[in-house]
Structure 1
């Protein structure tokens, strides 16, 4: 079997489009996934499903299996925790209203971060952030810290994206702000109520495995994202064992946000994948 044929049974289950903080449109992501020989993909924008229908249509034309998804921002024990949702209904009215509320919190956070930056003598505006390099916001779309990082680099306040996050935007950095959010339990419940299956995103980024255990026990997701660009090999091994202990699925995704300032953020699309069997199980769970 050739390398391309092997890739045809693989899925990338974590990526972001211009509907949140990615650089590629939903349709462009589908084309990239097809070009890289994937069997399918999930679009998991932050707190929005605005790009799902466009991606779904393009995937049908490209012959790709498409999973409607989302990544919900939550807060637990003073840390930002993200919950992925797969096979959510993008037309569920209550779910859409709930996501709109989350984006409102994100907007508040953006304003607070910009206020902090101004106090630090860093002059960037919300209009500059929303411009997104000439791609104005559409209905249901949102901006995030990567958009701010772009502006910080362009205006000379940081040397690159990583520098922008390290200095100003990462958790614990000078301008970092996190207003009250819903809990991981609420996010998992919302996903299930929208017909989807919750999976805990990139647990290695939280730096607290006891908190990860607490979230798993309380929110009861169906899986853990084990393979992720920011996980080292020992992280993967640890979370595989944790998944086995709790009887959970192990998933993977590139968390692809596109190319910013010449660098891929986080991982290259298609570089972190799962076998079709994992997707089949997620689909079956969503139909129960």
Structure 2
């Protein structure tokens, strides 16, 4: 049976492994199809595509940062045209604001006596000092790793809990796209999308994406819900599978692997081949890449 993982990250955003290494780990994990979905960028797709073994399929993708009433909502998006004017403009704004936000958080950490420098965060992110706004996507996991290096946290999760998580002393908000508008932008760019880990929405009242929002996203063209995610327990998986059925969208399953940060868990959750076919059928932006 074809094994499909539709959510993974490389060092182009907040994963630890280069795109080529992600492909190697995916092959070693027995996967046949992998979506590389770095945060707000397709910057790793070209490198990944150069290292595909024969018959292996790469799904060009991205995890799009969205926000709803102060909470974080993520949209894993596939096979869109990254040069589509509306989507491209929003992505430039999101990436620029990510960098500004990270700089602000570094300043706050320094005010609290944490010996973290902006230059070190850029090094961890693999970004160039002069052109960081257009370089690799800078995210909080990069700051967290710098905090750990500085001895102010035991590990990345502890850095989030103590310093940079929502409400933490060094937290700063950033620009993100409205989720319904994000679905519309991806569809306008010829892509398709799935609601990422809906049971985990930072800042939400009950920690989850509101079903009412999922309903509006589905009406705008959402194609799937990532019910099978490592952060979801059995009850959450069942609940979101039910929501997907009610809305007439497919259930996707994914590892949301971030390399060593998540234990290189590629393939720990997968998407059924028939669900993958249904999800991607409407896509017209860019094709699948087959080795």
TM-score, with length taken from structure 1 = 0.88
Superposed CA deviations along residues 7-35 of structure 1, whole A, max 9, x for unmatched, are xx111110111111111111111111112
Tell me the residue number matched to 1:100: 92
C-alpha separation in 2, matches of 1:161 and 1:193: 36
C-alpha separation in 1, matches of 2:150 and 2:135: 28
Tell me the residue number matched to 1:279: 276
Shift of the 178–136 alpha-carbon distance from structure 1 to 2, 3 Å rule, reads: closer
Residue 158 of structure 1 pairs with residue 159 of structure 2: no
C-alpha separation in 2, matches of 1:141 and 1:85: 18
Tell me the residue number matched to 2:288: none
Task: Show the 5 A alignment for 1:51-200.
Answer: 51-59=44-52, 61-92=53-84, 94-132=86-124, 135-137=126-128, 140-200=135-195
C-alpha separation in 2, matches of 1:77 and 1:151: 30
> Do 1:21 and 1:144's aligned partners in 2 also have CA atoms closer than 8 Å?
yes
C-alpha separation in 2, matches of 1:236 and 1:219: 19
Tell me the residue number matched to 2:253: 252
Residue 19 of structure 1 pairs with residue 12 of structure 2: yes
Q: Superposition RMSD on alpha carbons, in Å? A: 2.1
Q: Which runs of 5+ in 2 are unaligned?
A: 286-291
Runs of 4 or more, structure 1, over 6 Å off, are none
> Do 1:48 and 1:140's aligned partners in 2 also have CA atoms closer than 8 Å?
no
Q: Which runs of 5+ in 1 are unaligned?
A: 1-5
Superposed CA deviations along residues 32-53 of structure 1, whole A, max 9, x for unmatched, are 1112111110000000011112
Tell me the CA shift for residue 63 of structure 1. 2.2
Superposed CA deviations along residues 63-103 of structure 1, whole A, max 9, x for unmatched, are 21111111111111110111110112245455334312210
Tell me the CA shift for residue 172 of structure 1. 2.6
Tell me the residue number matched to 1:268: 265
> Do 2:244 and 2:251's aligned partners in 1 also have CA atoms closer than 8 Å?
yes
Tell me the residue number matched to 1:3: none
- Higher relative CO (CA 8 A, sep ≥ 6), structure 1 or 2? 2
> Do 1:69 and 1:87's aligned partners in 2 also have CA atoms closer than 8 Å?
yes
C-alpha separation in 2, matches of 1:183 and 1:86: 18
> Do 1:202 and 1:225's aligned partners in 2 also have CA atoms closer than 8 Å?
yes
